[in-house]
Amino acid sequence: MPDTRWNRLRILPILAAAIWLLVAWVKIMMGVQPNDFYNHWEFGRRFAAGTFIYEGGLNYVYPPLWAMAHAPLAMVGPRLAKALVFPLAPISIAALVWVLDRLVRQSLSCDSGCRFWSVVLAVVLASRFLARDLPEVGVNTALVALSWLGVYCWREHRDNWGGLALGLAGALKCTPLLFIAWFILKRQWRMVVTTMTATVLLTLAPMLVMGPASYVRTMSFWFAGVIRGVGDPDPSRGPLGEEKVENLALRPALARYVMHLPYGHLGRPEASDDPSRPDTPPSPYYLQFLDLTATQAGWVVRVVMLGLLLLVAWWFRGLPRSRDDPVLVWEWAAVSLLILLFSPVTWTQHCVGVLPALYLICRAFLARCPIPRLVQYLLGAYGLLVVVLNRTFVGRDLTKLLDSYRVKTLAILLLLAAVLMCWQQLSGRSPGLQLPEDRCRR
C-alpha cells in the first residue's frame, strides 16, 4: 500500500470519526437519545442509596458489581454523568485497537499505512454496532477491551494482571468468562486460578457496602432470575420474557426457524419496536418454517448449540506451542464471537465484540497474507447484512422484517466461519505450518 497515495487520504476517516463522536456527544447534551445508560445510572443510584437495586425488575440480568461500578455517577444527574464519562467510548476503541495491534505486530507485520487502513475498514464494518454503543458511553467496548487486555497480558507472561483484567470483565458481566473455558481447554491453570479468584473477589466486593444480609438477598434474586430465564424450555423465551427480534443471540434465532411464533410475539416484525402487542396486520412476507412444540424446539436448539460449542472446542483442543503462537489470536477472535452467540441476551450494542475478528481479517487482507479466498466473500456477505441492509438504506419496515429473519445473527455466524477458516489455514492442520511473516511484509 504506497504511503504517497494513501497518506493524503488519512485525514478523511479521521475527520469522519471526529464528527461522528461530536454528533453523539451533542445528542447526549441535548438529551435526544434515550438508552440503557439511564437504567444503569438509576441502578447505581439505588446502590448508593442502599435500596433494593432490582426493584421493578430493573437490570436484573446484571450482577450487583455493575450497580457498584455505576454508583459514583449518581453524584450528578444522568445527563451530566453521561457527558462526563463519554470519553470512555473512544478510549475503549483505541485501547482495543492498541491491544490487537500488539498481538499481531509480528505475525501480521505491515507498514503504518496498512495498520491505519485496517483499523478504518474494521471500524466501518463494525460501525453499526459501535454507533449503538456510543450512547452507552462505550461500556460494552470497554468490556471487550478489558477481556482482550487479559489475554494480551497472559501472552506477555503477566498472568496476575491478565487474570485481574479478565476477572473484572467477568465479574461485571458474566459472558467474558467464556475465555476461562479457553484457558481450561489449553490447560493454562495459573491463568484459570488467577481469573477465577479475581472474579470471585470482585463479585463479593459489593458486600462491603451492602452488608451481608442485603448482598445475599440481592444475589439470590439475581441468580434465580437468570437461571429461570436461561432454563426456560421454550427457546422463544429468555431472561427478559418473550425474546425480542432485537436479541441477536443464537438461541432465539434458532427458535425462530424451528417453531411458529404466534402473531403478537415480540420475535415477529410487527412487534419488533414495541413491547406492547402489535397494532399492524401480520406481515405477508414473514414466513414460518418448522412447527415444533416449545419442548421439542428447546431440545433441537440445545443440541445445535452444544454441537457448535463442542465442535469448536475439538478444533481448539491442541495445546499452544508457545504463548506467542500466531494462531492463538484467531482462537480468541472466535471466542469473542461465541460470546455474542451464546449469551442469553445480545443487543446490538453488545456486538462490538465483532471488532477483533474484523480487524484481524482486514489486516491480514491488506498485509497480503495468505487467507482463503472464500473469507473475502464471507466478509462481503457480512458487510451486506450488517452495514448495507439497515434503516438508512432500506427503510424501517424492511429492516424490521430482515431482523425477524435474524440476518445479523447470520452475519455473526458467517464471520465466525471466516475466522475459523483463517485459523484452519494458519494452525497446525498441516505439520509445522505457521504464518510466514515474509509473505505478510510489504
d(CA 20, CA 229): 37
How would DSSP label each residue in 192-243?
Answer: HHHHHHHHHHHHHTTHHHH-HHHHHHHHHHHHHHHHHHHT-S-TTEETTEEP
Which pLDDT does position 276 carry in this prediction? 54
Q: By percentage, how much of the chain surpasses pLDDT 90? A: 66
pLDDT-derived band of residue 282, with 50, 70 and 90 as boundaries?
confident
Bridge partners, residue 242, by sequence: 237
Residue 96: CB partners within 8 Å, gap ≥ 6? 141, 144, 145, 148, 355, 356
C-alpha neighbours within 13 Å on the C-beta side of residue 419: 29
155-185 tens-digit pLDDT:
999 999 999 999 999 999 988 889 999 999 9
Sign of CA dihedral 402, 131, 334, 239: negative
What would the mean pLDDT of 286-303 be, rounded to a whole number? 95
Give the pLDDT confidence score for residue 283 in this predicted structure: 80
Measured torsion, CA atoms of residues 317, 318, 319, 325, in degrees rounded to the nearest 10: -110
pLDDT of 45 strictly over 90 = yes
pLDDT tier, 386 (very low <50, low <70, confident <90, very high otherwise): very high
Q: Look at the chain and count its residues.
A: 442
Instruction: Give backbone dihedrals phi and psi of 241, rounded to 5 degrees, phi first.
Output: 100, -140
Task: Please report the DSSP string for 41-62 in residue order.
Answer: HHHHHHHHHTS-TTGGGTTTTS
What Å distances lie between residue 102 and 10, 73, 98, 126, 176, CA to CA?
Answer: 21, 33, 6, 20, 21
pLDDT (tens digit, 9 = 90+) per residue, 249-269?
999 999 999 999 998 888 888
What is the pLDDT at residue 436? 41
- Judged against a pLDDT cut of 90, whether residue 129 lies above it is answered with yes
Ramachandran assignment for 402, one of left (phi > 0), alpha (psi -120 to 50 degrees), beta (any other): alpha
Are 148 and 96 in contact, with CB atoms under 8 Å apart? yes
- Across 36-50, 74-88, 184-198, which has the greatest mean pLDDT? 184-198
The answer to whether residues 182 and 316 touch, using CB atoms and an 8 Å cutoff, is yes
Averaged pLDDT for residues 301-306:
97
The domain segmentation of the chain, as residue ranges, is 12-428
> Which residues share a beta bridge with 238?
241
- For 117, the grid coordinates are 487502513
**Phi then psi for 105, rounded to 5 degrees?**
-60, -35
Higher pLDDT, 388 or 280: 388
- Comparing C-alpha atoms, which of 305, 367, 310, 362 is closest to residue 333? 362
Distance CA 245, CA 396 (A): 14
DSSP 290: -
Residue 226: the pLDDT is: 80
- Alpha-carbon torsion (220, 146, 406, 283), positive or negative: positive
Contacts of residue 4, defined as CB under 8 A and 6 or more positions apart, other chains included, come to: none
Residue 437 has pLDDT above 60, yes or no: no
- Report helix, strand or coil for 247: coil
